[in-house]
Structure 1
Amino acid sequence: MTRRSFLRSAATLIGLSTAAGTATVVRRGSNRYYDGPVSDHFDGLRFFNPDGRPPKGLSDVLRWRMGDAPAKWPESLPVTPARPRARVADLTVTMVGHATLLVQIEGLNILTDPFWSDRASPVRFAGPKRVTAPGIAFADLPPVDLVLLSHCHYDHMDLATLRRLKAQHDPMVITPLGNDTIIAGTGLRTQTQDWGQSTRFGPLGVHCVPCHHWGARGVNDRSMALWAAFVLTGRRGSVLFVGDTGFDQGRPYRDLADRFGRLRAALLPIGAYDPQWFMADQHQNPDEAVTGFRLSGAAYGIGHHWGTIQLTNEGRNAPRARLLAALEQQSVSSDRFRALEAGEVWEIPQI
């Protein structure tokens, strides 16, 4: 990808949305997605990160775009897709790509932030394009029972994929406040959660927990829908899924062990962190992911959000290499925390 085409693609996905809070003045009370009471993370119009940092503005987008050239990624890489079993009694995780994982636990099939499209973009002709095919062919998906949808950015909320899932599987979607409005046109059944809320889905508890991020779909809807992480709890252990987060002094991780006991697995983002000055508030790097993994008390970890689409400056394999270095530096076995490639399957050991 040339520097010019990369910048154009990045601007389509990130720059457009990053400018959301600065390009247009939206009058108070005109949130198009959510109408609810003021809280410690909702001011009546927009959601926010308590004591955290807001996303960067348009001037910072321009500074990033005019700075160091991004690393060159390959146009495409071969993938050997997995063919998952229909049901799994224990816990198996298959990497599809980016933040999309198939979590098979206690007989349920759960997808996180499903993304099968060629581009993560509001348009089909531009925007970040995938360099690896999905690690599971859509036709080879087992029956999908549940979708965990963490927030509304285009690389996490892919409406075309959600429509396909509705037609073929009709799963339930659990998502933070306001995102149900955005996906209403898909026809999917949805249940929304605020931070700290929980529900049951079959044998599992589904718990909505805070993380440090933001959301937008266009130029005047910044942070009008909430973002979150999820914890699944059940007889086979607890699983944490974080779609995107800044490290935020470790706050997304610190109280998880007290609330949910020892996590069996943590599915954590490790990519889209360079340049650090621009991305750190919203995207943790691999070093921070390892620190968060340790703070969470999880037995095993999977690194995602890398190697599928180029969003930022780092090279395709840089997050995996940096993860291995961070694990060694922090004395965590590389057998416990893996950055999975598309199509890789991990039967998570019991604890």
Structure 2
Amino acid sequence: MRKRANPYYSGPVSDHFDGTRFFNPGGTPPRGLAHLLRWQFGGKRVRWPGRYDSPFLEVRPELSVDGDRLRVTMIGHATLLIQVAGINILTDPVWSHRASPFAFVGPHRRNAPGIHMDDLPPIDIVLVTHNHYDHLDLETLSALYAEHAPHIVTPLGNDTIIRRAVPDAEISVIDWGDRIDMDDGLVIHAEPCHHWSARGTRDRRMALWAAFVLETPAGKIYHVGDTGFHAGINYRSALEKHGRFRLANLPFGSYEPRWFMESQHQNPEEAVMGMIACGAEHVAGHHWGTFQLTNEGIEEPLRALEAALDKAGIERSRFRPLRPGEAFDVPPLPQE
């Protein structure tokens, strides 16, 4: 049988690309249709409330954060505003009501975005980690481009998708291990994470997924959009290559049932293990409480996170499970 052509990317074979599809070296591929149906029709999904409003009102962020300050503000799910060294960075921006290819069906927001799009400061850079609909939203990217024309950074193949909505955008496309030297002392690295990609049923793993490391004048930031724990391999590699992080943005929700989700979404205990393994002094926790993608209840990640931090002897204030509109002014690394 002929291999299906890759509609997004054409490039040389590597240790994580077979010429058609990307993969996690030594890892576990996503489960197939039979397992998906078993999960979807197996019940045991905890019902979420129709609304889960944040206690933080929609905020108007500062236009710029300078000096040694570092601020991260939750907008919702995996969408964060990172402000550092006079640079404003958005991660996986999604302002749409649904994380879905359809406007009428699919996971819907349980809370409003923490920052109204009209209240954003000037956005310099957008990081898109992969192409799942809860991370790559073409409607949002089109609106951001019209207002801010940011520089978009994304892994291999995702640029093809993004250009459908913003054909004139400045897009830097990077592979694992690549780096981009930006202005104002910012360097962006693409690093491995254990995940996968798809926009439909016939394009699985045809665009790459990645984590990002940001070298800034105010310290290093490790941003992970989605990942399975993968025995901590990628976390330890990030520490070995980049050293300690002032901040890591780590997912800790959307993880049940484990038999289906373990290879793609880490749970709170694994997120804490990842925090330790990568040498992060502080964590902004995301990927919870906005879109119901999996079986656990809406606040189960919070309880599990607190238990994991207590078990590890880590102060709860160091791992912040952010709510929409909540801003976290990250303390500097302690002097050694």
TM-score band by shorter chain is over 0.9
Match of 1:239 among 221, 244, 255: 221
Aligned to 1:342: 324
**Does structure 2 retain, via aligned residues, the 8 Å contact 1:286–1:326?**
yes
Per the TM alignment, residue 223 of structure 1 is displaced from its structure 2 partner at its CA by: 0.4
Match of 1:265 among 241, 247, 271: 247
**Does structure 2 retain, via aligned residues, the 8 Å contact 1:29–1:44?**
no
| Mapping of residues 20-99 of structure 1, within 5 Å | 27-28=2-3, 30-79=5-54, 80-89=57-66, 90-99=69-78
| Identical pairs, percent | 53
Match of 1:174 among 141, 153, 164: 153
Per the TM alignment, residue 103 of structure 1 is displaced from its structure 2 partner at its CA by: 0.2
Look up the SS of the partner of 1:253 in the other structure: helix
Residue 286 in 1 paired to residue 261 in 2? Answer: no
CA distance in 1, matches of 2:5, 2:237: 34
What is the TM-score with the length of structure 1 in the denominator?
0.91
| Mapping of residues 199-214 of structure 1, within 5 Å | 199-202=180-183, 203-214=185-196
Aligned to 1:228: 210
Aligned to 1:164: 143
Per the TM alignment, residue 78 of structure 1 is displaced from its structure 2 partner at its CA by: 2.7
**1:15-47 per-position Cα deviation (integer Å, ceiling 9, x unaligned):** xxxxxxxxxx8x436111000000000000000
CA distance in 2, matches of 1:65, 1:315: 16
Look up the SS of the partner of 1:299 in the other structure: strand
CA distance in 2, matches of 1:175, 1:67: 35
**1:223-274 per-position Cα deviation (integer Å, ceiling 9, x unaligned):** 0000000000022000011000000010120022222121000000001100
**Does structure 2 retain, via aligned residues, the 8 Å contact 1:175–1:190?**
yes
Look up the SS of the partner of 1:252 in the other structure: helix
Match of 2:109 among 107, 115, 130: 130
Aligned to 2:170: 189
CA distance in 1, matches of 2:301, 2:53: 19
Can you give the 5+ residue segments of structure 2 that lack an aligned partner in the other structure? Answer: none
CA distance in 2, matches of 1:234, 1:77: 34
Aligned to 1:300: 282
Per the TM alignment, residue 297 of structure 1 is displaced from its structure 2 partner at its CA by: 0.4
Look up the SS of the partner of 2:35 in the other structure: helix
CA distance in 2, matches of 1:152, 1:235: 30
**Does structure 1 retain, via aligned residues, the 8 Å contact 2:58–2:116?**
yes
Aligned to 1:5: none
Task: Report the AA paired with residue 91 of structure 1.
Answer: L
**Does structure 1 retain, via aligned residues, the 8 Å contact 2:285–2:319?**
yes
| Mapping of residues 298-337 of structure 1, within 5 Å | 298-337=280-319
Look up the SS of the partner of 1:255 in the other structure: helix
CA RMSD in angstroms comes to 1.0
**Does structure 1 retain, via aligned residues, the 8 Å contact 2:52–2:289?**
no
Aligned to 1:119: 98
Match of 2:179 among 198, 201, 217: 198
Moved over 2 A (4+): none
